[in-house]
Amino acid sequence: MSIIQISANQLKQKLEGSVKPLLLDVRENFECEIAYIKGSLHIPMNQIPQRLNEIDSSKACVVICHHGIRSQQVANFLEHSGFTNIHNLSGGINAWSIECDNSISRY
């Protein structure tokens, strides 16, 4: 199985739907202080293995980072750990800011 890449616009459509995915933000604390998608679950990348129990495996999960590289690594780890229905936000929160919500700061 491979991780599904999702664009910022595709994520926006999913968030406007009736069944919303879990947004898992794996950036560092200081990054979330600069830019953050409301409602995201924030678990820094290096804490994911110890905090797997906080991630609802029954929901579709979109993993988010700055540009989509770290989130891809976490998505692969989650899939290897038995999670299904995992997506990676292509372009990360930077793409989200450009394409969907320019009130979110870019850095």
21-75 residue pLDDT tens: 999 999 999 999 999 999 999 999 999 999 999 999 999 999 999 999 999 999 9
Is 44 among the domain residues? yes
Mean pLDDT of the 4-28 span: 97
Catalytic residues: 65
Q: How many domains is the chain built from?
A: 1
Is 24 among the domain residues? yes
> Quick check: 2 pLDDT over 90?
no
| CATH code of the domain containing 26 | 3.40.250.10
pLDDT score recorded for residue 1: 62
Is 106 among the domain residues? no
Q: Name which of 38, 40, 5, 15 is nearest 104 in CA terms.
A: 38
The whole domain housing 90 covers 4-99
